[in-house]
Amino acid sequence: MMGTVILGTGSSLPKRIMTNKDLEVIVDTDDEWIFSRTGIRNRRIGGAGEKTHQIAADAGRKALEMAGILPEELDLVVVGTISSHMLMPSCACFVQKELGAVNAFAYDINAACSGFIYGMDMADKYIRSENQKKILVIGAETLSGRLNWKDRNTCILFGDGAGAAVFGHSNDSTRGVVGSNLHSDGRLWRLLHMHTAPSTNPDLEVPDNPGAHIIMEGREVFKYAVKAMEDSVCALLKQENISMDSIKLFIPHQANIRILKNLLERLQFPEEKVFVNVSDYGNTSAASVPIALDEANRQGLFARGDTILLCSFGGGFTWGASLIKW
Ligand SMILES: CC(C)(COP(=O)(O)OP(=O)(O)OC[C@H]1O[C@@H](n2cnc3c(N)ncnc32)[C@H](O)[C@@H]1OP(=O)(O)O)[C@@H](O)C(=O)NCCC(=O)NCCS
């Protein structure tokens, strides 16, 4: 039985660091409020040469380098993003061009913060059905361009960045993507959403379109996020008959330290086996899980055969969990 393995990971972060202190001069907030409510101290903000597809390509390049694979060998490039600089072409097509992945087809996934986990599940399914495929899955965002910088409820939470993984097949049945448990609930869209630019067809225009920036009801999102991630992690472990104890490292979506702490408490999962970098980057949406995966990988926090648990939650709502045997 053939499996889908991760051959390399990479990440890319814009150079500019925005601290909580910097935010104090933009909106009515302070470092203590932000840190105690979210665990965030810093976030990165994209600048010239750091558009979504550019940092996505940079992360992809590093993942390819680690995998020892040339861009021409890629069959598919998938980018999870909600903040590409254009609606068409896709961010993935721009990444393909930047990398010179001339033999690949390319498309985006719009699943907000769950974009990487959804992409990973698709890569697994492609590879299992056509085992020669080599697939680059990226989560990349520049949400700094999609925030209302006058809204202190949202602008303090998000940051820019990109993370990537190259997937391929392995004949070693003891390794690879074990499975996923994915969900969406479009009925709850209003709680976390972002409009596009106003429509040029007045009949299709959204009344009082507030503009293309994130709108969120924080308290409600918090409650759903904790419960949804708890449910999908438990369902996945049951589905794959894997015990909580056998997990070497848990890499959850880095939205907020209080969401994470609540989740760990409900799961009764030990904090020391959880990878956390939210204080440095804030919530980077689709990029958060692959950036954390790459950092944990480069720090040598897991080895061949270890079981890694990933999970995410985002606008849509979308959420899910995945298991990998490294
Ligand atoms: C956003 C969040 C940190 C707000 O924390 P909270 O404890 O729920 O705070 P509330 O929204 O109830 O607001 C409490 C007060 O703080 C104020 N406040 C909001 N943002 C503030 C800020 N950045 N600085 C200072 N005060 C702020 C509010 O205006 C409110 O004041 P009021 O009582 O005078 O009206 C929290 O709800 C949260 O983490 N939600 C999940 C968000 C998330 O992770 N989204 C992405 C998921 S993928």
pLDDT bin (cut points 50, 70, 90) of residue 208 is: confident
| Per-residue model confidence as pLDDT tens digits over 72-82 | 999 999 999 99
Q: Are 258 and 222 in contact (CB under 8 A)?
A: yes
User: What band does 132 get if pLDDT is binned at 50, 70 and 90?
Assistant: confident
Q: Residue 48 has what pLDDT?
A: 97
Give, using CA atoms, the residue closest to atom 15 of ligand 1. Answer: 153
Q: Is the CB–ligand 1 distance for residue 219 below 6 Å?
A: yes
What is the per-residue pLDDT across 246-269, written as a single tens digit (0 to 9) for each?
999 999 999 999 999 999 999 999
Compute the average pLDDT of residues 263-284: 98
Q: Which of 119, 116, 157 is nearest to 140 (CA)?
A: 116
Nearest C-alpha to atom 4 of ligand 1 is from which residue? 218
pLDDT of residue 120: 98
CA–centroid distance, residue 153 to ligand 1 (Å):
5
pLDDT of residue 1: 58
Annotation: CATH topology of 176-325: Peroxisomal Thiolase; Chain A, domain 1 (3.40.47)
Mean pLDDT of 7-25: 98
Q: Over the stretch 88-123, which tens digit does the pLDDT of each residue have? A: 999 999 999 999 999 999 999 999 999 999 999 999
Domain 3-170 classification at class level: alpha beta
pLDDT at 244 over 90: yes
The answer to whether the 3-170 and 176-325 domains have the same CATH topology is yes
Q: What pTM, to 2 d.p., does this model score? A: 0.97
Residue 173 pLDDT: 83
187 CB under 6 A from ligand 1? no
Q: Return the residue whose CA atom lies nearest to atom 46 of ligand 1.
A: 255
Q: What does the domain layout of the chain look like in residue ranges?
A: 3-170, 176-325
Q: For residue 226, what pLDDT is reported?
A: 98
